[in-house]
Structure 1
Amino acid sequence: RMEQLSDMANGQTYTSNGYQDNNNESDRVPELRRISSASNFYDWEAVKNRYKKFHSDPNVNYFWRAHTITCLVLFCATLLYLSVFETSSFDTEYNTKRGLLAVILFFLLYGVIYTPDGPFLRPHPAFWRFILCLSVVYELGLIFLLFQNASDARHMLSYLDPELGKPLPEKDYGGSCLIYDPANTTDPFHNVWDKMDGFVTMHFIGWWLKALILRNYWMCNAISLLFEVLEYSLEHQLPNFSECWWDHWIMDFLLCNGLGIIIGMKTCNYLSLKPYYWTPMWNIPSYSGKLKRMVLQFTPYRWTEFDWSPTKSLKRWLLVLLLIAMFLLAELNTFYLKWVLWLPPPHPLCMARLVFILCMGATAIREIFQYTDDSSCKKFGRQAWLLTAIIVTEALICVKFDWPTVSKPPPTRIIVIWSVIISLTIGWTLWHFCLKQLIFAGQAELKDQQAADAVAAAPKSRTNRRRKDD
């Protein structure tokens, strides 16, 4: 039933002769809704992509099954080996680490098998179930850290890596802001080359991926612009935010972020226009075709455009504002966590967190968009709920562990800038969603009343003219 629904949503009907295109656009959506009602299931994504070319084989193969019995047997066999045949250790620290790791792995295994599927199917639904369960583990770890003090939390990280837990100097990106230094005859552009580190490439790749997640030019540029303003606003707290003006606006905002957003949105357009026809690998005769199919397994199953339309309704506008605020808070957490937990920027933990946040964010933003756009969706998505809790918990850790830094008052000019931004946002919201509607509604009501009065006065004028004629 779901496969039939998906095929009808994309203009195809399954008959005895195979899949046939249904060119009658007027009959497509009513039939789709009839099947949805009969099965008590409404496929919002299928309706949204009903005019795109899409076909997938309805058969469920070995690769897509849960394998619950196989996983249970392997898990019990592993426990049997570790508890009976392996030599016991009397090292308390070693046993504690292994016990905690075993508990986490069991939770992840159970969650991957039995957690409901998310909105994404590629490369495999189990991968996104794993991300969801790992989000729970990460949030539990953050909550545990939140109830420690800063010194103990830093010391606990040394159990993961002995090199952690040591204070690290933060690099100052300000320094000399001369683009061309005539005093340095050997390399007058040395200030520019000093800023060209590995983080420039990370900025570009990061915004390319963020554009694939948000799928909206306006939101991407708004977040990019506001984060540069936040760096200006918080450079009195973190030296890492102290950068030259051209580093902020030319290298970061225009080049790295801007090019990443443009290429990301071009990628979104390509993925939106391309047809999706999925053929099982065993139905492909050539080895080159099978290899290509394996590579395509890591591409989207189908692509849904995100038409956020923030000014369409007050609910959409507030959700978009909240999404931008949480996005910016997650970006700030990256820098403040490194500062309060003494994590060096090149450390694998920092990179792992960024990749993990991107994976969670992809699913969370897809769920938030459906919650915004789908009138039948009444519940906040699981991954969106978890990611929101994670971002808030990370921020609370930063506030608790280094309150003297976080509570440093900003300069007066920063207070003025943010007061203007917030006031303009509130003022425009009130105008667009309240005052504008009241004014135009009043004008329309006045015009209707005048038209009604004119219609009512017309018979009286004709009667008066007749009396004068008589």
Structure 2
Amino acid sequence: MVLETFLVILGKYHGSLHICSDSISFNKYYSNIVASIFLSPFCLVKVTVLKGKHLCIIYLAKFCPVKLYILLSFIMNKRDDARQFMKFLHPDLELPERSYGADCRIYTPENPSSSRFKNVYETLFDEFVVAHIFGWCGKAILIRNQPLLWVLSIGFELMEFTFRHMLPNFNECWWDSIILDFLTCNWFGIWAGMHTVRYFDGKTYEWVGISRQPNIMGKVPCCVKRTLGQFTPAQWDKDEWHPLLGPMHFVQVLSLCIVFSTVELNTFFLKFCLWIPPRNPVIVYRLILWWLIAIPTIREYNSYLQDRKPVKKVGALCWLSLAICIVELLIGIKFGHGLYPKAMPKWLVIFWVSVGVALVSFILIWSWKMLRCYGKKRR
């Protein structure tokens, strides 16, 4: 009944509006129409493993990936049309990328005495320093496993080194990449995120009624605490990944790392292709949206890995998040045609081919040994 009423109102809304002839207005209008029609039954679907104290957070977790997927589908036009379409989100576009590796000197004696450490100062007070810390804090809350987080951290630094010939953003100095990013920002973000997880881990809450507080000074913090508590999970579970449990388990955890790194790389490639400057809030909106999507997705995937049933399946949010990642990747490939004149160095291609061959060989040898042990036990 609710869905039928919604569609009737939507029909009247459709008839009362004028459809613009240009493709940008067409895409903007129909993305909202299709999203509304598709999301109305989707928000009524039963939640799988995600549990919270308030249903609106659960529905928001299901709403975000569908809306993002539909918006991405409508961006897949021509590159110039997509850039114009992005201006509906924010008009401040078409700013050049910054290269962090133009001058890697720590000390510049030719500058005045007050700015001889100008390169370090500009890098240290760059907006990406804060983004690194908050980003890795959020990733730690998602993954909740310190060794896996350090694998992701090392992997992303390798990705930056691999694609530095394509993106000016990745052209960093050695001290910026190793000392500032890896050993400082990433470490502090992971430390803060893991401490947040440990603080909430196994913690029980006994909510006391506001009327039972002795005075007004006690009622206000209690009211704020109860209100904010509605937006936290019902419980904080430990996510045990165990990548060395077996070859198949190793491949499954490795797949998570690959998808996770691809989502991060898509941020920089889409920013470059669509002319989005680093300080534009569209980037922050996308990252927050992806973080909200990743909360139930990673929880579903971890439950899938920990499930010992002979027949099991991956949750719907996992498949939807994978589809969004693939669509973003395809957009980056399509719009990036002709934007990267420099080819990847041959030694770098040989390096990654060697890593791939070594990884496949390791998994095959591991699987063969596991099968031999299993065969001996059966005898």
TM-score scaled to structure 2, two decimals? 0.85
Identify the residue that residue 286 of structure 2 maps to in structure 1. 353
- Report the CA distance between 1:76 and its aligned residue: 8.8
Query: Aligned ranges for residues 114-193 of structure 1 at < 5 Å?
Result: 114-122=44-52, 124-146=54-76, 148-164=77-93, 167-184=94-111, 185-193=113-121
Match of 1:343 among 276, 300, 308: 276
AA aligned to 1:296 is G
Q: Are positions 1:104 and 2:35 aligned together? A: yes
Query: Aligned ranges for residues 245-324 of structure 1 at < 5 Å?
Result: 245-274=174-203, 276-277=204-205, 279=207, 285-286=212-213, 287-288=219-220, 289-324=222-257
Contact 1:236 1:410 in 2 (8 A): yes
- Could you tell me which runs of 5 or more consecutive residues in structure 2 were left unpaired when the two chains were aligned: 214-218
Match of 1:397 among 328, 331, 335: 331
Greater shift in the superposed pair: 198-207 or 414-423: 414-423
Residues in 2 aligned to 1:406 and 1:360: alpha-carbon distance in whole angstroms? 30
Relative to structure 1, is the Cα distance of residues 306 and 134 closer, same or farther in structure 2, using a 3 angstrom cutoff?
closer
Relative to structure 1, is the Cα distance of residues 367 and 180 closer, same or farther in structure 2, using a 3 angstrom cutoff?
same
Relative to structure 1, is the Cα distance of residues 406 and 116 closer, same or farther in structure 2, using a 3 angstrom cutoff?
farther
AA aligned to 1:131 is A
Larger Cα-atom Rg: 1
SS state of the match for residue 228, structure 2? helix
Coordinate RMSD, CA, aligned: 3.3
SS state of the match for residue 248, structure 2? helix
Residues in 1 aligned to 2:290 and 2:117: alpha-carbon distance in whole angstroms? 36
- Report the CA distance between 1:295 and its aligned residue: 2.6
TM-score scaled to structure 1, two decimals? 0.69
- Could you tell me which runs of 5 or more consecutive residues in structure 1 were left unpaired when the two chains were aligned: 1-67, 450-470
- Report the CA distance between 1:372 and its aligned residue: 0.7
Relative to structure 1, is the Cα distance of residues 83 and 400 closer, same or farther in structure 2, using a 3 angstrom cutoff?
closer
Residues in 1 aligned to 2:370 and 2:363: alpha-carbon distance in whole angstroms? 10
- Report the CA distance between 1:177 and its aligned residue: 1.0
Match of 1:372 among 294, 305, 321: 305
Residues in 1 aligned to 2:363 and 2:59: alpha-carbon distance in whole angstroms? 38
Contact 1:120 1:363 in 2 (8 A): yes
Kindly tell me the number of residue pairs found equivalent between the two proteins.
Answer: 367
Relative to structure 1, is the Cα distance of residues 314 and 125 closer, same or farther in structure 2, using a 3 angstrom cutoff?
farther
Identify the residue that residue 316 of structure 2 maps to in structure 1. 382
AA aligned to 1:310 is P
AA aligned to 2:331 is I
Residues in 1 aligned to 2:12 and 2:360: alpha-carbon distance in whole angstroms? 63
Q: Are positions 1:221 and 2:145 aligned together? A: no
Percent identity over the alignment? Answer: 32
Higher relative contact order (CA 8 A, sep 6+): 2
SS state of the match for residue 384, structure 1? helix
- Report the CA distance between 1:82 and its aligned residue: 6.7
